């Protein structure tokens, strides 16, 4: 069982509350419900975290807020800037655990890469985060808190931005808190981030994926596929032994999409493992009948990852093979590699769990 945040750290923490829940808490304390909208605007639009500084609130309400509510915000431990403008933030949570978040400028829009867990239980063979194991889930407030910290540090509160849930962790393994965070982010009185500006990346936890298909707030979907067959994918993505390639593809065919939308299939290219023309042809056959686009990600090599990046010729050949078979293909430009901020490179040392504390694949079935 993963660590959990003590409930005392979440009790009446405004950062953990959706606006409707906050309205109810204020009403229970004898205050007007509409004050929640004002406070949300202070926190999310203006970046004010000092409850006493919310000057248009009655003094009595500010006294109540100071006495009965809190607003927990992650602290910046370090901030590194890449030569390409990417920035990586190491953030400390209220219990001392640490996570990483990434700012990626001009992709083509401003993008925040946000974590949903401390570590990750998926143990993908090419990902450093998986070496940590799962330490614990993040709360909704900790997920949204990353966005609050980044917008303040980068002075981007008045700038439209995209969010990719592609940092540390598997978002659908922390389903309830992730979806709660997306509702908070989408609130019209807060950041007002529409679902079309959010992309959720998952290895394909099928029960959670089916729940996601019924959500009123539905982000863009990216499936971390990485191989066209069960034999190959099972060696790279252990959860494939529970939810196979065919099952994932069938779920994607059923997933509700708007007319112009597609599901992105992410495919990390590993030299000599999954980058041959035969692999590309198998992938094209697999995705036939799916409203799909393929995002090829040449491996971001790092110490501890037992694979190599394919040659540029191999990457181009793979992309051309897919394109010739009618698939929309892009090759992701690696950002922040020099500060270990690229895809698969996020890891916080010293927070790994022992093997006995890891969750088995069967734990994802419910």
Tokens coding 240: 């494939």
Q: How far is CA 313 from the centre of its chain?
A: 31
**Cβ neighbourhood burial of 116 (10 Å; 0-12, 13-18, 19+):** buried
Q: Which residues pair with 92 in a beta bridge?
A: 75, 98
**Bridge partners, residue 266, by sequence:** 224, 295
d(CA 350, CA 12): 31
For this structure, is 100 an active site residue? yes
Token digits for 71?
Answer: 């607003």
Can you tell me whether residue 253 is helix, strand or coil? helix
Q: Quick one: CA dihedral 296, 129, 223, 184, positive or negative?
A: negative
Cα torsion 297, 171, 340, 185: sign: positive
Among residues 272, 262, 247, the alpha carbon closest in space to that of 328 is found at 262
Q: Which is catalytic among the residues 2, 100, 177, 266?
A: 100
DSSP 55: T
Q: Is residue 120 annotated as a catalytic residue, yes or no?
A: no
3-state helix, strand, coil in the chain (%, to 5): 40, 20, 45
Which residue of the set 113, 127, 252, 343 is catalytic? 343
Instruction: Work out the end-to-end distance of the chain between its first and last CA atoms, rounded to an integer number of angstroms.
Output: 15
Tell how far CA 112 is from the center of its chain: 9
Per the listing, tokens 């030299």 go with: 271
What is the enclosing helix (H) or strand (E) of 128?
Answer: none
By annotation, the residues acting in catalysis are 100, 343
């Amino acid at each position: 069982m993963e660590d959990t945040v003590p409930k005392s750290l979440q009790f009446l923490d405004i950062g953990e509350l959706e606006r409707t829940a906050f309205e109810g808490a204020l009403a229970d304390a004898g205050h007007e419900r509409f004050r929640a909208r004002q406070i949300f605007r202070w926190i999310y639009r203006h970046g004010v975290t000092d409850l006493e500084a919310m000057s248009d609130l009655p003094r009595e309400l500010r006294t109540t807020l100071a006495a009965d509510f809190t607003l927990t915000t992650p602290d910046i431990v370090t901030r590194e800037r890449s030569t390409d403008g990417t920035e990586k933030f190491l953030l400390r949570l209220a219990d001392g655990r640490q996570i990483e978040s990434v700012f990626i400028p001009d992709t083509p829009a401003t993008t925040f890469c946000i974590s949903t867990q401390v570590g990750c239980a998926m143990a993908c063979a090419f990902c450093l985060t998986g070496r940590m194991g799962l330490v614990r889930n993040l709360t909704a407030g900790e997920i949204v808190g990353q966005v609050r910290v980044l917008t303040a540090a980068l002075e981007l509160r008045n700038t439209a931005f995209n969010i990719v849930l592609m940092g540390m962790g598997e978002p659908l393994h922390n389903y309830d808190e992730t979806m709660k965070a997306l509702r908070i982010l989408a609130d019209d009185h807060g950041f007002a981030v529409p679902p079309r500006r959010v992309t959720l990346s998952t290895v394909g936890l099928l029960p959670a994926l089916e729940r996601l298909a019924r959500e009123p707030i539905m982000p863009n979907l990216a499936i971390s596929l990485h191989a066209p067959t069960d034999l190959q994918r099972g060696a790279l993505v252990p959860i494939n032994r529970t939810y196979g390639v065919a099952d994932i593809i069938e779920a994607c065919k059923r997933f509700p999409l708007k007319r112009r939308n597609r599901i992105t299939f992410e495919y990390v290219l590993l030299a000599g493992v999954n980058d041959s023309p035969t692999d590309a042809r198998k992938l094209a056959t697999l995705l036939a009948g799916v409203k799909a686009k393929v995002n090829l990600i040449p491996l971001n090599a790092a110490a501890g990852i037992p694979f190599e990046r394919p040659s540029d010729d191999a990457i181009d050949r793979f992309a051309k093979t897919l394109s010739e078979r009618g698939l929309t293909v892009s090759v992701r430009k690696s950002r922040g590699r020099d500060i270990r901020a690229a895809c698969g490179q996020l890891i916080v040392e010293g927070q790994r769990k022992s093997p006995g504390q890891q969750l088995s694949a069967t734990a994802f079935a419910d």
